[in-house]
A and B are shown apart, each in its own frame.
Chain A
Amino acid sequence: MIAGIRARFSISYAAFHLDVDLHLPGSGVTALFGSSGSGKTTCLRAIAGLERAPGGYLSVNGEVWQDDATSRFVPTHKRRLGYVFQEASLFSHLSVRGNLEYGLKRAAGETKGDRLEHTAEQLGIASLLDRSSERLSGGERQRVAIARALLARPRLLLLDEPLASLDLRRRREILPYLERLHDELDIPTIYVSHMPDEVARLADHLVLLDNGAVAASGPLQETLARLDLPSTFTDNAGVFIDAAFDGHDDADDLTRLSFSGGTIFVPRRAQAIGKRVRCRIEARDVSLTLHKQSGTSILNIIPAVVVDMAPTEHAAQVLVRLDAAGTPLLARVTRRSWHNLGLAPGSSVWAQVKTVVLIG
């Protein structure tokens, strides 16, 4: 059995061409990230079999769902997947319970009596079960849609911007549920999004789509630290680092986080010691010095080694990739500074980090 997901599609429309060849991990959350029109949704629909991509190939953890070389195309209803659409698309002629049972009844395998109740509990919709599906808020509808997809016992979960049609408040209401699913379920998930913060909170693996082609694909941190990405991504270039709450500094109301590259301080957070957290450091918030500065207001100064450098869309600035004991960092500095400091791959520097944003 070959673990992982292999998806090779080539679809042409009048003014759009999608051409991807993806190797994705067989577990965890993969984010398909890109601006609108980049082909994310088309790609997801092709994986679900809702869009027919002639000459394509798709296998999911050893099961071949499409292989046009051998004329194999498993129709959508025979693929064990769960799909959550942008709009919840509940069946309006059924109650909430009827919607949930629709997938549950048709799922293969033995049905444990309380699965429906348990899943409804997980998504906080247990009290809505007997409601008509038309009398729900946007956030509730989307949670019902997610529960419905999960109850069909998918081996692959496909989420097409499930939060895009919701306002910020509803979005905040659902994200924790998605995070919980990520932690509690062992279903490989492909999550389509154009929102960097959603990707940062949920994804383990990242695929950047640009104009129908894969611009980058790999583990989240590594991929975001790449320098050769199209300008749509380098504009807001930055990295995510996984850290753990390490302790609190009561005198100054600071919380200490530790990660492989050292420690960083953030404004005090009431969190249990040892809990893991993801934070984002934007390239424009990182400056470089050759010697550790003492007379500076900057709190977080991390030793690192220069890996390489790439020009940005602004001729005056360059993007520098750093390695802080295994954790990639990005710094956006002027080209003049690059030359003045005599930087080159292998140089030891101090990365001064002005802002660390905790995600979640």
Chain B
Amino acid sequence: MNASFTHGDLEAIWLTVELAALVTILLLALGSPIAWWLARTPSRWKRPVAALVALPLILPPTVLGFYLLVAMGPHGPIGLLTQSVGLGLLPFTFGGLVVASVIYSLPFMIQPLQNAFESIGERPLEVAATLRAGPLDRFFSIAVPLARRGFIAGAILTFAHTVGEFGVVLMIGGNIPGQTRVASVLIYDHVEAFEYTQAHWLSALLVVFAFAALVGIGSLTIGGGKAAKP
């Protein structure tokens, strides 16, 4: 057991990090308004929307992957859209992986954020309004800093969950080296090819990473009792 990672392994690790980082950033931007809306709306659409957002938690990744594949295909709504704006088709591209991962990891960003926004309560926002802060100003100057633990937790969970996804990647992205072959898929390949040493090294890396992520989240929630009472 000498050389730990091959060139192919490093390429897959780098691709995984790239994908997870991009998905985390996109979901921070996309998830905060949805979480904010869910945390505060009295609308009757709140429950259906919350259920829709949570769907990837329990849906088999193959089901989600299948529908996304169809939607992004040449006759699907997403496929027609991407073709019309000149992006071509998304399946079996890195872009396709990003779109699929954003949807698949949505609940991991939204739920911690929604909880954090809800625990702020109405009062700090009312105070800010009486001090002339408009709605957008209130969101950035009060809600975001008071919900910072939710943002950190959501980012860690999203990143870790994207690193760990397998089924959706396989359905949407296939297994193209340097483009869609991420670490979890490569482990599967190594095992199929009886390259157990390589599989061990990659698997151990993911275990250490997942452990570190959970320790990070845990330290947040221990100190997080404070964030709950503003």
A: residues with CB less than 8 A from B are: 48, 50, 75-78, 80-83, 85, 87, 89, 91-93, 102-103, 106-108, 148-149, 152, 158
Contact = CB atoms under 8 A, between A and B. Distances in A.
Interface in B120-162: 123-124, 126-135, 137-138, 141-142, 145-146, 148
Interface of B: 123-124, 126-135, 137-138, 141-142, 145-146, 148, 230
22 contacts: A75-B129, A76-B126, A76-B130, A77-B128, A77-B132, A77-B138, A81-B130, A82-B130, A83-B126, A83-B130, A89-B124, A89-B127, A91-B142, A91-B146, A92-B230, A93-B146, A103-B132, A106-B131, A106-B133, A106-B137, A107-B132, A152-B131
Contacts of A50: 126, 129-130
B127 A83 contact: yes
Contacts, number: 61
In the A-B complex, the 9 residue pairs with the closest CB atoms: A83-B130, A103-B131, A106-B132, A76-B129, A93-B145, A77-B129, A89-B127, A89-B123, A152-B131
B42 to A, nearest CB: 12
B133 A77 contact: yes
Nearest to A90: B127
B70 to A, nearest CB: 45
B146 A48 contact: no
A87 B124 CA distance: 11
A146 B148 CA distance: 27
B191 to A, nearest CB: 48
Contact of A102 (B123, B126, B131, B230): B131
A76 B129 CA distance: 6
- The prevalent SS among residues of B at the interface is helix
Contacts of A85: 123, 126-127
Contacts of A75: 129
A76 B219 CA distance: 38
Contacts of A76: 126, 129-130
Given A89-B124, A91-B124, A149 B133 contact: no
Contacts of A106: 131-133, 137
A75 to B, nearest CB: 8
A77 B126 CA distance: 9
Contacts of B126: 50, 76, 83, 85
A75 B128 CA distance: 12
Given A77-B130, A91-B124, A152-B132, 7 more contacts: A83-B126, A87-B123, A91-B142, A91-B146, A93-B146, A102-B131, A152-B130
A74 B145 CA distance: 27
A149 B133 CA distance: 13
A84 B141 CA distance: 19
Contacts of A48: 130
A149 B129 CA distance: 11
B130 A102 contact: no
Contacts of B124: 89, 91
